[in-house]
Amino acid sequence: MTTPLSRRKLPVGVQGFAKIRTGGYYYVDKTPWLHQLTQEGGYFFLSRPRRFGKSLLLDTLNELFEANEPLFQGLYIHERWDWQKKHPVIRLSFGDGVMESRAALDERIQEMLREQASRLEVCLKNDSIAGRFGELIRRTHERHGERVVVLIDEYDKPILDNITDGETARALREGLKNLYSVLKDADPHLRFCLLTGVSKFSKVSLFSGLNNLRDITLSHDYGAICGYTDQDLDTVFAPELPGLDRQQVKDWYNGYRWGDRRQPSVYNPFDVLLLFQEREFRPYWFESATPSFLVKLLAERGLYTPRLESMETEANLLGRFDVDDIATEALLFQTGYLTVHKVEQPITGYWLYTLGYPNREVESSLNQALLPALGLPRSGRETLTLFRALQAHDLKALEAHLKALYASLPHDWYRNNPIAQYEGHYASVFYSHLAALGLLIRVEDSSHMGRVDMAVDFNGHTYLFEFKVVEQLPEGRALQQLKDKSYADKYLGQGKAIHLIGLEFSSQQRQIVAFDVESL
């Protein structure tokens, strides 16, 4: 008979490895990946969204290189590490505070260099930042007799905090480049180096000359180096699962992937820990700090929101992020609002990525945040009306609600907002309104006859929607296409009532002029 696992403390907000290992907290063993990383040695870069455990990862490496063996008892790496050798660690973090000028950044860097020099018992004589950082690495190697480990957390935060102010962001970028450029000439004194952050700035803009920096963000070898897997939840956190719908836990919070399907998808630890603490399904990660500039930028670019469910992009666009050139795909991927669904190599050397929402939390919350950008109010009244109509399967009420919704869009919004210039605007409003409710939605769901525009499952019903934009009067083409293409065939036999709904929008009236329904 298996002895049930006892419950432990949830490490909500705990980023110290020693505290977790000695304080009776749950811990997911990440040392298999750290062992592989440290065996390779060299310079590494890792990008992950906020609150994904990057700081804890660096703290674990800190304790490992300082050979604090008791903390690693029982972990994978314990029998595979030389505990007799200690390496001095220089650790810098830009996670605290907001620096709004180059002077403030330089002052913060000088403070960190002084703190590290004092801790490592070395004396710095140079005055410039680059000179002092290089001197710190060299003298630390000399003082301790072993090559140095450099760990840098939130390497990009000063830039991201000012990303909407181009001039300030560029100045801060140059300040950080001045610091990081030191690493390229410090190789004789370095044992290992890891930089972590949210975004991936180009090597030219921040790491000029550091040609041996390996980016492991999309490496299948390190896909689960941060985050929790399904196996972690079912083993380490097994005592927390009773009373929760396991499939809902997966649908709501799992799904992050940084490469092909050779690696498991993972959960954001912040979501999982707060779910276990509060015992309620809520958008914990999304509500913790969604950047306002993201929503503003998406609105300015007139994004067709149903496309977010399946967005194709080239590898070079996925990693292109800089102050003056922020690709939409890179922004959404690096900030964690989209993740990798599929990786293809149709031609040798040409990589194609398909991105999509990681889970229900992000899909629902991001679309809720985008509603004002689509001209819709963010109040819950409209969402509640939609929910009640679908809950009662009252399609007449649904039609009336949607017509009222489109009628509420202000004329000034159409005139001033670039999104309204796209035909897909009508579908964007419709999709984001439903997605904000947290419904199970499939966009352009494929069948043997083609792709239905949208499929929605709710409360025992499957709704298949087809959209058409007409000049003025209804034409009946949307419903007819649903029937001619036999889109419903794919959904037969699932035990749910199926409803074909053809929606036609008048480009002149800016309104629904046909809401044709046929139930099977």
- DSSP alpha helices (H): ranges in 408-510? 411-416, 425-435, 477-484
Q: Is the pLDDT of residue 416 over 90?
A: no
Highest mean pLDDT (candidates 143-147, 453-457, 480-484)? 143-147
> Out of 77-81, 127-131, 259-263, 420-424, which region has the weakest mean confidence (pLDDT)?
420-424
Confidence (pLDDT) at 428: 84
C-beta neighbour count of 144 within 10 angstroms: 15
What's the pLDDT score for residue 421? 44
pLDDT at 135: 98
Q: Please give the average per-residue pLDDT across 336-352, as a whole number.
A: 90
Q: Domains in the chain, start-ordered, CATH in brackets?
A: 1-28+227-278 (no CATH), 29-222 (3.40.50.300), 371-519 (3.40.1350)
Q: What is the pLDDT of residues 271-322, one digit of tens each?
A: 999 999 999 999 999 988 766 777 777 777 777 788 888 888 888 777 777 8
SS3 457: strand
Percent of the chain scored above 70 by pLDDT? 93
Q: Each residue of 153-179: pLDDT tens digit?
A: 999 999 988 988 889 999 999 999 999
Residue 334 neighbours by CB under 8 Å, 6+ apart:
47, 49, 198, 199, 200, 321
Q: Which residue has the higher pLDDT, 326 or 5?
A: 326
Indicate if the pLDDT at residue 2 is higher than 60: no
Instruction: Categorize the per-residue pLDDT at 448 as very low, low, confident or very high, splitting at 50, 70 and 90.
Output: low
Residues 6+ apart with CB under 8 A from 416: none
415 has pLDDT over 80: no
Written as six digits, the tokens of 467 are 């959209």
* CB neighbour class for 264 (10 Å; exposed up to 12, middle 13-18, buried from 19): middle
pLDDT in tens, 197-229: 998 887 667 887 677 889 999 898 899 999 999
Mean pLDDT, rounded, for 79-104 = 95
Interatomic CA distance for residues 331 and 297, integer angstroms? 10
Residue 419's pLDDT is 47
Average pLDDT over residues 408-432: 65
The pLDDT of 28-36, averaged and rounded, is 97
The pLDDT assigned to 211 comes to 75
The end-to-end CA distance of the chain, in Å, is 51
